[in-house]
Amino acid sequence: MADTDGHQAAIIISWLLGWIYFLAWTISFFPQAVLNIQRKTTQGLLPDFPLLNCYGFSCYTLSTALFLFSPQIRAQYAARHTVSPEPTVRINDLAFGAIGLTMSVVTYSMFWPRLWRWEHKPGVRRHVNSITMGLIWGSFIALLTTIIIVVSKGTAGDARGWAWIDVVYTMEYIKLVMTVFKYIPQVVANFRRRSTIGWSITQQLLDFTGGIGSLLQLVIDSSLQSDWSGLTGNPLKFGLANISLVFDIIFILQHFVLFGPVEESTPKDDQSRDVIDDREPLLPGGTRA
């Protein structure tokens, strides 16, 4: 009886954690957009972050939908994970991805101030760097290559060889790569500016909460199934939680310890710490053209 009660309690805790991290991660997409609207500018925010989010969440949303609703993908997953044949993906994962994609598109659109009827301010970086574009094109080629391999080998429906589930896993790993690199330009920019003004710390606090919740839920689900391959069987969810936590801690330290604490917003005419487009050539004395 005690074991049954403990099992039921674990299921309830897993369910609660799922919704806690879903709400925290989902709400985390809004503070940056709200901050931009309040300041009527994207000063302090690099375009690399929302653009990589757009691409990454496109892959995340599609892969999650396939794990939930594709009989073929679910069958191939079960064939490769015989002990726990049920994917650890949940419907709230799909809702999170769809909302994340939508808000990423909205935030990225703010780098065109005319769309929002904002004043066009000088010194605001509106172009992503070459590394970001290289990541996008490189991951697209990797995805296309995987599809070609699956089709050419004629084993798309056979989980024992190259199969469509490998295409889904490729999309998940693309999301993982986008998550790793989307934070780096912003971290570096904050250090160069010695400021987090224009970058929403509320977003990172919510993201940190979501990362803890997601990781705990995944551990509980795997424990309930008595099979820790749930962690390796869902590398995206496990990897996202850990990567997000590391960068969240960096941003929290930047905001509250290294450069602050500071107010998230500043007067609209404050351009003393703008992020300048690094593609512009340096003039003597370290200024930009």
pLDDT for residue 242: 81
- What are 138's two structure tokens? 């490189």
Q: Tokens 């065109």 map to which residue?
A: 112
Condensed to tens digits (0 to 9), the pLDDT of residues 66-91 reads 999 999 999 999 888 877 788 878 88
Condensed to tens digits (0 to 9), the pLDDT of residues 219-270 reads 887 777 766 665 666 666 676 668 889 999 999 999 999 987 776 665 444 4
User: What pTM was estimated for this model as a whole?
Assistant: 0.81
Residue 147, pLDDT > 90, answer: yes
Q: Tokens 């609660």 map to which residue?
A: 16
Q: Which has the higher per-residue pLDDT, 289 or 169?
A: 169
User: From CA 78, how far away is CA 75, in angstroms rounded?
Assistant: 5
Chain-centroid distance, C-alpha 186: 14
Lowest mean pLDDT among 123-132, 164-173, 239-248: 239-248
pLDDT for residue 289: 33
Average pLDDT along the chain: 84
pLDDT for residue 174: 94
Condensed to tens digits (0 to 9), the pLDDT of residues 35-66 reads 999 999 999 999 999 999 999 999 999 999 99
Is the separation of the CB atoms in 205 and 249 below 8 Å?
Answer: no
Is the separation of the CB atoms in 109 and 115 below 8 Å?
Answer: yes
Is the separation of the CB atoms in 137 and 179 below 8 Å?
Answer: no
User: From CA 137, how far away is CA 192, in angstroms rounded?
Assistant: 27
